[in-house]
Amino acid sequence: MKTKLNANDAQTLKRLRELADDVTAAAMKRRDPSIDVPARSLSNVKYNKSKRFIEMGKNTNRRQLFNLSQAKSFMQTMLVASGSSQLIEQGKTTSIRGLYYMLKHTIEGTKEETFEDQDESDPIIEDMEVLSGSLREELHLYAKQAGVMIGNIVLIDSGDEIDCSRMGSGGYGVPSIAEPEVIEFKKCTAKFILHVEKDTVWKRFNEDKFWQKHNCILTHGGGQPPRGVRRMLYRLHNELKLPVYCLLDNDPWGYYIYSVIKQGSINLAYESQRMAIPDAKFLGLRSMDFKRCELSDSVKISLNDTDRKRAHQIANYPWFAHKKEWQKEIKLLLENGFKMEVESLISKDISYVTEQYTPARLKEKDWLD
């Protein structure tokens, strides 16, 4: 059954139909149907200094039906477009794995499967995002939910009012689809957002009522934040004008997580304009904190070769390469020869990170940009 479409769904469906119309028109003219897919490669990604985030270039790869090596991927692209159109028309959503099963079947008259496994369908979904200029969530697709928030904000989630200050020890699970059609901000008195890397750190801040004492929204993304969390952070920052501070581990992975939140992902550069937060600040943990906080040797985790290689790569990112403070930070990490987790501050006191470290960094505006 078809459902009444909102303006965003109508626009997304229009773009999908235009793609189908172009293929149909080529076939009617007895031409080889083709699709020009924007290249999602490192060579087609650049850092826009004025916008301060990563974006895709203009290079494309042509996908043709009557090219033996491309025929299957062409067919898969059209299947994903068709499946997304069906979801939008019916006003329903499904997981990216759900779409895989929805489209998987044996091609009539052959023993060939449309998709052998989900590793084939996931990249096609990303192709469809850049082809249609739509986020995956706007195609009515979502991934596994991972990420939580709590704080002084009231939301309307699919018609239900959610007071995030009354969500107890578990918090409000940030949905995979955090678009305005699903999540509406009703009331917010919070002054900023503190994003921490992991659930364990988030629980310490929640139990100590940090968000209540400092009037903020507290979030985590279970490590590398999923798209729903990144999109929520982006909307909170841009629509409610809330500063975003990131408390992450002192290691190349923590630096990378910050980079993705701030500048966007290299692999998914086409999303940056609606997810990157160039004004986000890195609050810690810092390489200097081992001495500054007088931590014990027991918290040290030796850097391995992969850590060192990754640190050098991050130091050479265009958005970090010319920032003296970031170069000093990464240099000291390598000179230290060890990394640290935010949880290491617990060695000082169970609530040291919530009652002393973080309030001091915020008060002194001691962060990396």
**Cα(221)–Cα(35) distance, integer angstroms:** 35
| Host H or E run for residue 211 | helix 210-213
Best CA proximity match to 279, nearest among 251, 245, 319: 245
Q: Is 101 a catalytic residue?
A: yes
- Edge-to-edge strands of the sheet including 244-247? 172-173, 148-151, 216-220, 192-196, 244-247, 281-284
Q: For helices 71-90 and 118-132, what crossing angle results, to 10°?
A: 70
| Host H or E run for residue 193 | strand 192-196
| Host H or E run for residue 141 | strand 141-142
In DSSP notation, 243-276 reads -EEEE--BSHHHHHHHHHHHH--STTGGGGGGT-
State the catalytic residue, choosing from 101, 142, 255, 352.
101
Q: Are 217 and 151 in contact (CB under 8 A)?
A: yes
Q: Is the preceding omega at residue 247 within 30 degrees of 0, hence cis?
A: no
Amino acid, res. 369? D
Sign for the pseudo-dihedral over CA of 32, 37, 43, 47: positive
C-alpha radius of gyration, the chain, whole number: 23
Provide the token pair at 282: 């890195």
- Residues in contact with 10: Cβ distance below 8 Å, sequence separation at least 6, in sequence order: none
Catalytic residue positions, numbered? 101
